[in-house]
Amino acid sequence: MTSKNTSISTHDLHCQFGEVRAVDGITFEVQTDTLFGFLGPNGAGKTTTIRLLLGLLEASSGSAEVLGFDTRTQADQIRLNCGALLEQTGLYERLSAEDNLDLFGRIWHIPATERAERIRSLLEKMGLYDRRKEMVNTWSRGMKQKLAVVRTLMHNPKLVFLDEPTDGLDPVAAASLRDDLVDLARQHGVTVFLTTHNLAEAEKICDQVAVINKGKLLTVGSPDDLRLRKSAHTLIVVGRGFSESVVTDLRAMPDVEAVELQDRHLVVHFKRETDSGNLVQFLAGKGVMIDEVRKGKASLEEAFLALLEEQA
Amino acid sequence: MMQDIFTLIRKEWKEVVFQRSGGRQSWISMLILVGLIGIYLPYINGAAWLQDPTALLDWAWVPLFMTIGLVADAFAGERERHTLETLLATRLSDTSILLGKIASSVLYAWGIAFACSLLGVITINVVFPSAGLQFYNPGMFFGGLAAVLLIAIFISSIGVFVSLKAATVRQAYQKLSLSIMAIWFIPFILIQTFPDKVQSFFASVAPILDAKPPLIIGGLFGVLIVADGIMLLLAKKRFQRTRLILE
């Protein structure tokens, strides 16, 4: 049973299509009012997970609750309270932007006056209000994506699923949509479940991230946690007296995975988390003058790739 | 649920009649049909048109012409334009979506048939004026509208059934056309294969039925109602969100 502060909770969720395990025993929780990034390469199982959580697909085994509703038996309640932007924008291209939003307002039984006001305020926030009467098929991809995001918020959902919302957008359009997305989510107090393979994007906007690959969940945590987990294995030593023999001796140590000598920096990658004291002692013994020792700062991308490598 | 069905009908009409690709084409074909059945046929048949039961046969073409294109697009079109999954991810129930799709084409066809019938009255009264207002035989008028409704439901249900599984609108249209042709011709072919005894039974019953048109009409209505019920149930059974997502 999900708690008040949990929007999504899955337990050992599986989804199998023939021999293919699209989702393979994933367990995680998404806290309310957070921006949760679900990261993974193409075909990792991100879209299938969203479909399972929306009750559009039935799990082979395991369970999931969304906003306290069971995905197997209360899917209609989930869809009532959630918004979704799936793989495609799902916009009716021969209708105007206003008509698209009006349709979804009607689907959610929003009264006419409130509907018109909501369309106005959301389109104004996105800078699309002046073009609301135009057919959607005349719009750029970036504008369509923005409209599709607006559509998911029409009925004031508690939770929105966004499946790669910035995919295929140029960097400027992607950044603009990202900013709008964060603003809207924060202003409206919406929990956002966002899938992406754009790690820089996840790093910028997500409070929590999970990494999935080949249907398996590899890790869950904040972007900082993930970076630190990777960085915990790397130490950077600034100093003088790094000779080739020191580097060779370091490489011979059992815990050391790799050593890079860069200008006055020595970057040492360990196989597991290690105490910097041992390294300092070793280097001092070799006559190295140490000015500074610090943990490496891996990017989320490096952490992500390391996770995939570990899985492989 | 009614509100949801009306929302879908509104969306379908707005999209199809006014804006979907080929919108102009659908307007032209609609105007040709209305002109033919509402003006031309009454004009050449004269005042007898309003009392002639064979006029019912002409009305029966309306749902065939009007629904076939519309209903083939119902789900195959949504799939082709990548809007189906978004629609399925809304709060709308399966029944609302299904009935909304069927009702939009049924009411579209029925509305045009109704307009044709009224236009026929106007044509006759303008071209062949008499002392008072000339109108249809009430039984024929209401029977005709009911027949159009039942035929439209039948074709729409088949159309939705086919469209649910078709990958493209073109494929749905072809399958639907073939299905309707098969429904039309197969009974005639089957009758030829019946044993002589059965055929002679039909031959002996035919004059009795000919003498009692209400019996034939009532029987046809009964068959249509049963066929509509069966097709609606089949369409409902085929409508499964999971299958629609994966297909």
A81: domain CATH number is 3.40.50.300
Kindly state whether A101 is in contact with chain B, defined as any CB-CB distance less than 8 angstroms.
no
Task: Specify whether A235 is located in the same domain as A210.
Answer: no
The answer for residues whose C-beta is within 8 angstroms of residue B112's C-beta and 6 or more apart is: B30, B33, B34, B62, B66
**CB distance A88–B85 less than 8 Å?**
yes
Least Cα distance to B78 among B69, B88, B68 occurs for B88
Distances (CA, A) of A218 to A172, A210, A257: 31, 7, 22
Helix, strand or coil, per DSSP, at residue A206: coil
Task: Specify whether A261 is located in the same domain as A170.
Answer: no
| Alpha carbon distance B215, B227 (integer Å) | 18
- The Cα of A89 is separated from the nearest Cα of chain B by a number of Å equal to 8
**CB distance A92–B15 less than 8 Å?**
yes
**CB distance A94–B246 less than 8 Å?**
no
| Alpha carbon distance A281, A93 (integer Å) | 67
Least Cα distance to A301 among A212, A253, A249, A230 occurs for A230
In a domain, A145, yes or no: yes
Mean pLDDT of B55-76: 76
Task: Decide which of A221, A244, A259 is a domain's last residue.
Answer: A221
Task: Specify whether A59 is located in the same domain as A148.
Answer: yes
DSSP string, B146-164: HHHHHHHHHHHHHHHHHHH
In a domain, A242, yes or no: yes
Instruction: Please count the CA atoms within 13 angstroms of the CA of B46 that sit on its side-chain side.
Output: 2
A56-88 pLDDT tens trace = 998 889 999 999 999 999 999 999 999 999 988
Q: Give residue B175's pLDDT.
A: 87
Q: Give residue A18's pLDDT.
A: 84
Q: Give residue A231's pLDDT.
A: 63
B133-192 pLDDT tens trace = 888 888 888 888 888 889 889 989 988 888 888 888 888 888 888 888 888 788 778 877
Task: Specify whether A86 is located in the same domain as A165.
Answer: yes
The two tokens of residue A264 are 């006055």
Q: Give residue A137's pLDDT.
A: 87
Put residue B69 in one of left, alpha, beta given phi > 0 → left and psi -120 to 50 → alpha: alpha
Could you tell me the residue range of the domain that residue A279 belongs to?
A: 228-311
* CB nearest B15 (choices: A54, A55, A94): A94
Task: Specify whether A237 is located in the same domain as A216.
Answer: no
The two tokens of residue B236 are 């409902």
Task: Specify whether A62 is located in the same domain as A142.
Answer: yes
Task: Specify whether A209 is located in the same domain as A137.
Answer: yes
Q: SS3 string of B34-84? A: HHHHHHHHHHHHHHHHHCCCCHHHHHHHHHHHHHHHHHHHHHHHHHHCCCH
Are B215 and B138 contacting, i.e. CB atoms less than 8 angstroms apart? no
Task: Specify whether A216 is located in the same domain as A111.
Answer: yes
| Alpha carbon distance B85, B96 (integer Å) | 15
Ordered per-residue pLDDT tens for chain A, 312 residues: 556 688 899 999 999 888 888 889 899 999 888 899 998 888 888 999 999 999 999 888 999 999 999 999 999 999 999 999 998 899 998 889 999 999 999 999 999 999 999 999 888 888 888 888 888 888 988 889 889 988 998 988 989 999 888 877 778 777 877 887 788 777 777 899 999 877 778 888 888 889 888 888 888 888 877 777 666 678 888 888 888 888 888 888 888 888 888 777 888 888 777 777 888 888 888 888 888 888 776 677 777 777 777 766
**CB distance A89–B82 less than 8 Å?**
yes
CATH of the domain at A295: 3.30.70.2070
Kindly state whether A103 is in contact with chain B, defined as any CB-CB distance less than 8 angstroms.
yes
The answer for residues whose C-beta is within 8 angstroms of residue A107's C-beta and 6 or more apart is: B4, B7, B90, B91, B92
State the pTM of this model: 0.80
Count the domains in chain A: 2
Which chain B residues touch A if contact means CB-CB below 8 Å? 3-4, 7, 10-11, 14-15, 19-21, 23, 81-83, 85-93, 241-242, 245-246
Helix, strand or coil, per DSSP, at residue A212: strand
Are A55 and A75 contacting, i.e. CB atoms less than 8 angstroms apart? yes
| Alpha carbon distance B201, A96 (integer Å) | 61
Instruction: Please count the CA atoms within 13 angstroms of the CA of A178 that sit on its side-chain side.
Output: 22
Q: Rounded to 5 degrees, what are φ and ψ at B231?
A: -65, -35
| Dihedral sign, Cα of residue A179, residue A180, residue A182, residue A187 | positive
Question: How many CB atoms are located within 10 Å of the residue B71 CB?
Answer: 33
Are B85 and A90 contacting, i.e. CB atoms less than 8 angstroms apart? yes
In a domain, A259, yes or no: yes
Q: Give residue A27's pLDDT.
A: 93
In a domain, A39, yes or no: yes
Are A295 and A232 contacting, i.e. CB atoms less than 8 angstroms apart? yes
Q: A212 forms bridges with which residues in the sheet? A: A217
Q: Give residue A79's pLDDT.
A: 93
Are A181 and A192 contacting, i.e. CB atoms less than 8 angstroms apart? yes
Kindly state whether A90 is in contact with chain B, defined as any CB-CB distance less than 8 angstroms.
yes
Question: Taking CB atoms and an 8 Å cutoff, what residues of chain B touch A85?
Answer: 86
Task: Decide which of A221, A249, A283 is a domain's last residue.
Answer: A221
For chain A positions 205-244, those within 8 Å of chain B (CB to CB) are: none
Q: Give residue B26's pLDDT.
A: 67
For chain A positions 32-51, those within 8 Å of chain B (CB to CB) are: 51
CA angle in degrees (0–180, nearest 5) for A238-A239-A240: 145
Mean pLDDT of B231-235: 90
Helix, strand, coil percentages, rounded to 5, for chain B = 85, 0, 15
The answer for residues whose C-beta is within 8 angstroms of residue A138's C-beta and 6 or more apart is: none
Nearest CA in chain B to A154: B90
* Integer-rounded Cα radius of gyration of chain A: 24
Is the confidence at residue B68, as pLDDT, over 90? no
- Selected residue of B19, B25, B240 to mutate for chain A interface (largest A Cβ count, 10 A): B19
Task: Specify whether A122 is located in the same domain as A187.
Answer: yes
Is the confidence at residue B18, as pLDDT, over 80? no
| Alpha carbon distance A205, A5 (integer Å) | 20
Q: Give residue B22's pLDDT.
A: 54
In a domain, A268, yes or no: yes
Task: Specify whether A294 is located in the same domain as A169.
Answer: no
Task: Indicate if ipTM > 0.95.
Answer: no
Question: Taking CB atoms and an 8 Å cutoff, what residues of chain A touch B7?
Answer: 103, 106-107
In a domain, A196, yes or no: yes
Least Cα distance to A193 among A225, A148, A158 occurs for A158
Q: Rounded to 5 degrees, what are φ and ψ at A104?
A: -70, -30
- The Cα of B82 is separated from the nearest Cα of chain A by a number of Å equal to 6
The answer for residues whose C-beta is within 8 angstroms of residue A285's C-beta and 6 or more apart is: none
A225-238 pLDDT tens trace = 777 766 667 888 88
B98-124 pLDDT tens trace = 999 999 989 988 888 888 888 888 988
Q: Give residue A100's pLDDT.
A: 94
Nearest CA in chain B to A161: B89
Task: Specify whether A101 is located in the same domain as A14.
Answer: yes
In a domain, A155, yes or no: yes
Q: Give residue A67's pLDDT.
A: 92
Q: Give residue B56's pLDDT.
A: 66
| Alpha carbon distance B8, A103 (integer Å) | 8
E-assigned strand segments in A144-183: 159-163
**CB distance A86–B86 less than 8 Å?**
yes
CA angle in degrees (0–180, nearest 5) for A46-A49-A55: 145
| Alpha carbon distance A81, A66 (integer Å) | 9
Regarding predicted confidence, which is higher, B20 or B181? B181
Task: Decide which of A221, A252, A286 is a domain's last residue.
Answer: A221
In a domain, A1, yes or no: no
Task: Specify whether A214 is located in the same domain as A275.
Answer: no
Mean pLDDT of B203-210: 72
